[in-house]
Amino acid sequence: MSKEIEKQKHSLAHLMAAAVLKIRPEAKIGIGPATEDGFYYDFGNISLNQDDFKNLEKEIHSLINKDIPFKKRVVSKEEARDIFSDQPYKLELIDDFKDEDLTVYETADFIDLCEGPHVSSTGEINLAFKIDRTAGAYFKGSEENDMLQRVYGLAFETKEDLKKYIENREKAKKRDHRKIGQKQELFMFDEEVGQGLPMYLPKGAMLRHLLMNFALNTYLDHDYELVSTPHIANEALWEKSGHLQHYADDMYGPLSVDDRKYRLKPMNCPFHVKMYNSRSRSYRELPIRWAEMGTVYRYEKSGELHGLTRPRAFTQDDAHIICTGDQLKNEVLGALKITEYIYQTLGLTDLIFKLSVRDPEKKEDYFGGDEEWEKAEKALENALKSFGRNDYIREEGEAAFYAPKIDIDAVDAMGRRWQLSTIQIDFNLPSRFKMNFINEKGEEETPFMIHRALLGSLERFLGVYIEHTGGSFPVWIAPVQAWIIPISDRHEDYANKIKNELKKEGLRVVVEGVNETLSKAIRNGETQKIPYLIVVGDKEEKSEEINVRFRGENKGSMKVKEFLLDLEK
């Protein structure tokens, strides 16, 4: 966003506040910055709705037409308090400032506490804008504070850009995985089953199964071992791990059986630690890499739930690597390489690597000593460098309290970033559970522990993947790869014969559209995004061929063998 555009957007935010104050003088104003797609302003004490938008837009247009100057003025804190005496949010912001001198901007009779910069006069605003929607937002972004009403505006350089943006948003809505999931009968939710608890219908379960197997087999190929653990555990375990003390709000409540309390697992780690600790370990065994497709349950707040991308029950493609300090860098590097392979295979080629380290100003907020933090941060950094990604983003203060981590964002077909993979080191659990191994000198040593989930969770990944592909899955992972459509019911036997032949080759194929016209069946198949639509009629039966249509394109007739050869490419 250029400085000029930002100035205009920010100025529009001021004009919107001026307009709101005109129709609702009782409004208490918060802040109003420019955003990527426009601007917003927060208001307290009022509630605007759609019907007000037209009036606001009219008022803003009228302010622009009047070409009113934006007057900047430097004021002391004292003066500022005076000016905003009936604006409590502004008063709080004034108190937050360290400097004595503040700036205010005045436009006609609207005055706002603001650093600027702004256009010099409202007439300079030539962006196409639209008041878009309202939403709740906490003052200064904190749950502790009042909830204000945020009014969002869209602003673009031209009317066409604005129109295009709105159209694109509509298009994106059609790719929403929740919509596609319903249309293609992949998964569902049910009020009586519970919020955020997805159920996979046959096609979705197949898709999930294929994704899971691909990931799991990749890990096994890279010398991981498979483990499996229960879904609940005694509260004693969660107490020892620290989850009960620090994570209880996100856990389902206790299940009481035989005077014991159990909890659904929010994470798989403590089980893996227990298995590691089940006997003494030698340095010769390390690194240990244990993978589990572990279903976990987290009581996410109701408003945070969102289809498959934020459910309450989900399956992590989890693994824990337990290794020595010397092995740390190579293990992280290995995980990075597998991540890249998996994402490339799935067609997500644009990855962004983020190294989250601790805030050097607040070392006391983190668990563990300086030495291990430095070692771990260095190992992650060196792994990224060896991996050839010097363009990683270093984020200070983003580390988990228990160790630094690498998070990986995938960029989808619509340019949106999704944080999916995570590779985290952990100092907390090895210490809490007193994990150790016997080193070359015969001494006990604490190992390093790496948590890594490369898809993140099957659910979240699938949600993103459905939107990335728009429901048009690559053939290898498509839950149904082909429909065989007999032209009339006398071709049904031949259709079944072909179906069995293809099934024998491992294809996921069904006979469809027996009682429908061919056109209708084709239409349905295309709508369902079935990759191959195979038509069989008199002609095919006679020549012992099949007619193949691939995603809207008729490939003509061919022998089954030719079709299979074509598939392999």
Interface residue with RNA, options 171, 520, 559, 561 (CB under 7 A):
520
DSSP letter for each residue of 512-541:
--TTS-HHHHHHHHHHTT-SEEEEE-HHHH
Does residue 405 carry a catalytic annotation? Answer: yes
Q: What is the distance between the alpha carbons of residues 268 and 229, in angstroms, rounded to a whole number? A: 8
Please give the structure tokens belonging to residue 509: 């194929």
Catalytic residue (one of 316, 327, 424, 481): 316
To RNA, the closest distance from the beta carbon of 185 in angstroms equals 9
Q: Which is nearer to RNA, 17 or 533 (CB)?
A: 533
Which residues does 33 contact at the CB level (< 8 Å), separation at least 6? 10, 13, 39, 40
Q: Which is nearer to RNA, 79 or 398 (CB)?
A: 398
Interface residue with RNA, options 275, 305, 352, 438 (CB under 7 A):
305
Catalytic residue (one of 10, 114, 269, 460): 269
Three-state SS letters, 286-347: CCEEEEEEEEEECCCCHHHCECCCECCEEEEEEEEEEECHHHHHHHHHHHHHHHHHHHHHCC
Interface residue with RNA, options 54, 174, 523, 561 (CB under 7 A):
523
Interface residue with RNA, options 2, 86, 109, 141 (CB under 7 A):
141
Determine if residue 388 is left, alpha or beta; phi over 0 gives left, psi from -120 to 50 gives alpha, anything else beta: left
Interface residue with RNA, options 135, 236, 413, 510 (CB under 7 A):
135
Does residue 316 carry a catalytic annotation? Answer: yes
Residue 138 CB-density burial (10 A; 0-12 exposed, 13-18 middle, 19+ buried) = middle
- The verdict on 554 binding RNA (CB under 7 A) reads yes
Stretch of residues binding RNA (CB under 7 A), selected from 105-113, 225-233, 340-348, 519-527: 519-527
**What secondary structure letter does DSSP report for 156?**
E
Q: Which is nearer to RNA, 25 or 141 (CB)?
A: 141
To RNA, the closest distance from the beta carbon of 196 in angstroms equals 6
Please give the structure tokens belonging to residue 130: 């639209």
Interface residue with RNA, options 365, 516, 544, 566 (CB under 7 A):
516
Q: Which is nearer to RNA, 76 or 554 (CB)?
A: 554
Closest CA to 455 of 221, 294, 569, 287: 294
Stretch of residues binding RNA (CB under 7 A), selected from 146-154, 336-344, 379-387, 475-483: 146-154
Interface residue with RNA, options 1, 23, 147, 510 (CB under 7 A):
147
User: Which phi and psi angles does 458 have, rounded to 5°?
Assistant: -60, -40
Cβ(107)–Cβ(122) below 8 Å: yes
To RNA, the closest distance from the beta carbon of 139 in angstroms equals 9
Catalytic residue (one of 318, 407, 412, 426): 318
Interface residue with RNA, options 54, 246, 260, 394 (CB under 7 A):
246
Cβ(273)–Cβ(307) below 8 Å: no
Stretch of residues binding RNA (CB under 7 A), selected from 15-23, 62-70, 209-217, 238-246: 238-246
- The verdict on 178 binding RNA (CB under 7 A) reads yes
Q: Which is nearer to RNA, 349 or 543 (CB)?
A: 543
Q: What is the distance between the alpha carbons of residues 448 and 431, in angstroms, rounded to a whole number? A: 10
Catalytic residue (one of 90, 298, 312, 499): 298
Residue 173 CB-density burial (10 A; 0-12 exposed, 13-18 middle, 19+ buried) = exposed
Q: What is the distance between the alpha carbons of residues 70 and 106, in angstroms, rounded to a whole number? A: 6
Cβ(42)–Cβ(10) below 8 Å: no
Q: Which of residues 184-223 bind RNA (CB under 7 A)?
A: 189, 191, 195-196
Cβ(517)–Cβ(488) below 8 Å: no
- The verdict on 138 binding RNA (CB under 7 A) reads yes
Site string for RNA, 14-53 (x = CB under 7 A): ---------------------------------x-x----
Q: Which is nearer to RNA, 100 or 143 (CB)?
A: 143
Q: What is the distance between the alpha carbons of residues 99 and 230, in angstroms, rounded to a whole number? A: 57
Catalytic residue (one of 9, 118, 451, 460): 451
To RNA, the closest distance from the beta carbon of 217 in angstroms equals 27
Residue 15 CB neighbour total at 10 angstroms: 28
| Number of shown-chain residues binding RNA (CB under 7 A) | 68
Site string for RNA, 412-431 (x = CB under 7 A): ----------------xx--
To RNA, the closest distance from the beta carbon of 509 in angstroms equals 16
Residue 445 CB-density burial (10 A; 0-12 exposed, 13-18 middle, 19+ buried) = middle
User: What is the Cα Rg of the chain in Å?
Assistant: 30
- The verdict on 490 binding RNA (CB under 7 A) reads yes
Interface residue with RNA, options 444, 503, 517, 566 (CB under 7 A):
517
Please give the structure tokens belonging to residue 58: 């009219």
Q: Which is nearer to RNA, 103 or 229 (CB)?
A: 229
Which residues does 476 contact at the CB level (< 8 Å), separation at least 6? 210
Q: Which is nearer to RNA, 107 or 469 (CB)?
A: 469
Please give the structure tokens belonging to residue 263: 């909890």
Interface residue with RNA, options 533, 558, 563, 567 (CB under 7 A):
533
Q: What is the distance between the alpha carbons of residues 558 and 42, in angstroms, rounded to a whole number? A: 64
Which single residue is written with the structure tokens 């590691």?
A: 276
- The verdict on 316 binding RNA (CB under 7 A) reads no
Using CB under 7 A, list all residues that contact RNA. 47, 49, 133-138, 141-143, 147, 149-150, 176, 178, 182, 189, 191, 195-196, 241-243, 245-247, 250, 267, 300-307, 310, 400-402, 428-429, 487-490, 515-520, 522-523, 526-527, 533, 535, 537-540, 547, 549, 552, 554, 557
Active site residues: 269, 298, 316, 318, 320, 405, 451
